Amino acid sequence: MRILLVEDDALLGDGIRAGLKLADYAVDWVRDGEAARLALLDHAYQACLLDLGLPRRDGLSLLGDLRRQGHQLPVLILTARDTSADKIAGLDAGADDYLTKPFDLLELQARLRALIRRAGGAATPTLAHAGIVLDPASKRVTRDGQEVALSAREFTLLHDLLRHKSHIRSRSQIEESLYAWGEETGSNTVEVYIHNLRRKLGVNFIRTVRGLGYRLGDAD
């Protein structure tokens, strides 16, 4: 899960990034509205955490432009502005949710999960396919009811495939969801994670589509 964090307050931004990293999100952090606009052009994110009062470009104007361009990215506004007028303006500009500072990191994580889930069109919190069930909140995965131990990256990769289960996911799409800026990506790490997941979830659970990427198959 790759998240764009737009926040100019160094202390707060650092805390949010650290908290989300612990929860296994890949977080790209920018500190002004223009840098956010450029990041959104270049990368596919699962959600954006957006401060409103920002240098160079205000959060509301950035959000308005995004929505006018038809961008569907889930956006959660982080606002110090505790007036209902600001919240209404944010929601009207196309925000999906908001949190008023200061907020609890666990609440932020719960709201992020809900946003990403709704964006994927799923009403239930768990994702399932061919006997495999993944619960994003508890980070548990079961195979035919038995718990399966996955590493953080294996979990993130499985989550990505389950969220796009009728699609082929290319290697670069998978890498985008696994890594934030500056994180080391080995040349064959995606293949290693896929190999591990097949070993744990069944060899046919993930199919290789030659030249295109991966998609979910059937459990055996």
Closest residue by beta carbon to Ca ion: 53
Strands 206-209 and 213-216: what pairing? antiparallel
Q: Residue 120 interacts with Ca ion (CB under 5 A)?
A: no
Among 15, 19, 53, 120, the residue binding Ca ion under the rule CB under 5 A is: 53
Stretch that binds Ca ion, among 2-10, 33-41, 58-66, 147-155 (CB under 5 A): 2-10
Stretch that binds Ca ion, among 1-9, 35-43, 55-63, 151-159 (CB under 5 A): 1-9
157, HSE (Cβ side, Cα atoms, 13 Å) = 27
- 8/24 with CB nearer Ca ion: 8
Q: How far is the CB of 99 from Ca ion (least distance, A)?
A: 13
- 35/178 with CB nearer Ca ion: 35
Q: Residue 8 interacts with Ca ion (CB under 5 A)?
A: yes
Look up residue 149 and give its two tokens: 């131990």
Q: Residue 58 interacts with Ca ion (CB under 5 A)?
A: no
Residue type, 137: A
SS3 for 23? coil
For 74, 95, 99, the CA distances from 67, given in Å and listed in that order, are 10, 9, 20
Stretch that binds Ca ion, among 4-12, 29-37, 116-124, 195-203 (CB under 5 A): 4-12
Q: Rounded CA gap, 60 and 137, in Å? A: 30
- 33/136 with CB nearer Ca ion: 33
CB 197 within 8 Å of CB 217: no
For 82, 125, 139, the CA distances from 114, given in Å and listed in that order, are 23, 8, 14
Among 46, 48, 50, 51, the residue binding Ca ion under the rule CB under 5 A is: 51
Stretch that binds Ca ion, among 8-16, 30-38, 165-173, 201-209 (CB under 5 A): 8-16
- 52/216 with CB nearer Ca ion: 52
Q: Which helix (H) or strand (E) holds 209?
A: strand 206-209
Q: Residue 64 interacts with Ca ion (CB under 5 A)?
A: no
Q: Rounded CA gap, 167 and 68, in Å? A: 26
- 15/53 with CB nearer Ca ion: 53
DSSP-assigned beta bridge partners for residue 147: 142
Stretch that binds Ca ion, among 18-26, 53-61, 64-72, 134-142 (CB under 5 A): 53-61
For residue 137, the tally of other CB atoms under 10 A from its CB is 12
Contact positions toward Ca ion, by CB under 5 A?
8, 51, 53
